[in-house]
Amino acid sequence: MYRSHNCGELRATDSNTEVTLSGWVQGVRDKGFMIYIDLRDRYGITQLYFDEERTPKDIIEKAQNLGREFVIQVKGQVIERASKNPNIPTGDIEVLVSELTVLNKALVPPFTIEDKTDGGDDIRMKYRYLDIRRNPVKESLIFRHKVTQAVRNYLSNQDFIEVETPYLIKSTPEGARDFVVPSRMNEGQFYALPQSPQTFKQLLMVGGMDKYFQIVKCFRDEDLRADRQPEFTQIDCEMAFVEQEDILNIFEGLTRHLLKEINGVEVEKFPRMLYDDAMRLYGNDKPDIRFGMEFGELNEVAQHKDFGVFNNAELVVGIAVPGGNSYTRKEIDKLIDWVKRPQVGALGMVYSRCNEDGTFKSSVDKFYDQDDLAKWAEVTGAKSGDLVCVLSGDKNKVRAQLSALRMELAERLGLRDPKVFAPLWVIDFPLLELDEETGHYHAMHHPFTSPKPGQIELLDSKPGKVKANAYDLVLNGNEIGGGSIRIHDKATQAIMLKHLGFSDEEAKAQFGFLMDAFEYGAPPHGGLAFGLDRLVAILGGQETIRDFIAFPKNNSGRDVMIDAPAPIDDEQLAELSLKLNLKS
Helix (H/G/I), strand (E/B), else coil: 483: strand
Query: What is the structure's pLDDT at 226?
Result: 67
Q: What is the pLDDT of residue 510?
A: 87
Instruction: For residue 283, give the 3-state DSSP assignment.
Output: coil
pLDDT at residue 175 in the model: 64
Asked if residue 479 belongs to a known ligand binding site, the reply is yes
Q: Is the pLDDT of residue 498 over 90?
A: no
pLDDT of residue 222: 85
The secondary structure element, H or E, covering residue 19 is strand 18-30
Rounded to an integer, the average pLDDT of 38-43 is 97
- Weakest-pLDDT range from 23-32, 209-218, 442-451: 442-451
Residue 159 labelled as part of a binding site:
no
Q: Provide mean pLDDT across the span 384-390.
A: 98
323-355 residues labelled b (16+ CB within 10 A) or e (exposed):
ebbebeeeebeebeebbeeeebebeebbbbbbe
Query: Could you report the per-residue pLDDT of 327-350, keeping only the tens digit for each?
Result: 999 999 999 999 999 999 999 999
pLDDT of residue 83: 92
Which stretch of 40-54, 88-102, 486-500 has the lowest confidence by average pLDDT? 486-500
Q: DSSP 3-state assignment of 168?
A: coil
**What are the helix and strand counts (H, E) for the chain?**
17, 22
**Gap between the Cα atoms of 464 and 433, Å rounded:** 7
**Does the annotation place 534 within a ligand binding site?**
yes
What tens digit of pLDDT does each residue of 145-196 get? Answer: 999 999 999 999 999 999 999 999 998 765 678 999 999 999 999 999 999 9
Specify the pLDDT at position 458.
Answer: 85
pLDDT, position 113? 95
Give the pLDDT score at 584.
63
What radius of gyration do the chain's Cα atoms show? 30
CA distance 41 to 39: 7
List, for residues 451-489, the tens digit of each pLDDT value: 998 888 888 888 888 999 999 999 999 999 999 999 999
pLDDT of residue 317: 98
Looking at residue 212, its pLDDT comes to 98
User: For residue 380, what pLDDT band results from cuts at 50, 70 and 90?
Assistant: very high
From 9-13, 487-491, 562-566, the region with the lowest mean pLDDT: 487-491
Q: What tens digit of pLDDT does each residue of 238-262 get?
A: 999 999 999 999 999 999 999 999 9
pLDDT attached to residue 464: 84
Cα separation, 465 vs 496, whole angstroms: 14
Q: Which of 44, 45, 52, 42 is nearest to 96 (CA)?
A: 52
Between strands 44-51 and 93-104, the pairing is: parallel
Nearest to 348 by CA among 398, 382, 420: 398
Q: Give pLDDT, residue 501.
A: 83
* Each residue's pLDDT tens digit, 261-292: 999 999 989 999 999 999 999 999 999 999 99
Q: What is the pLDDT of residues 91-124, one digit of tens each?
A: 999 999 999 999 999 999 999 999 999 989 999 9
CA–CA distance, 404 with 410 (Å, rounded to integer): 10
57 pLDDT exceeds 80? Answer: yes
Span 29-57, average pLDDT: 95
Residue pair 129/137 in contact (Cβ under 8 Å)? The answer is no
318 is in an annotated binding site: no
**Residue 547 one-letter amino acid:** D
In the chain, the percentage of residues whose pLDDT exceeds 70 is 99
**Mean pLDDT of the 371-387 span:** 98
Residue 446 assigned ligand-binding role: no
- CA dist 59 and 335 (Å) reads 64
pLDDT of residue 435: 77
Over residues 495-519, the mean pLDDT reads 89
Give dist(CA 339, CA 349) in Å, integer.
8
pLDDT value, residue 174:
58
Prediction pTM value? 0.92
| Residue-level pLDDT at 461 | 82
Whether a cis peptide bond, with omega within 30° of 0, leads into 197 is: no
pLDDT of residue 32: 85
Q: Where residue 543 falls among pLDDT bands split at 50, 70, 90?
A: confident
Annotated binding residue 229: yes
Please tell me whether 531 is known to bind a ligand.
yes
532 labelled binding-site residue: yes
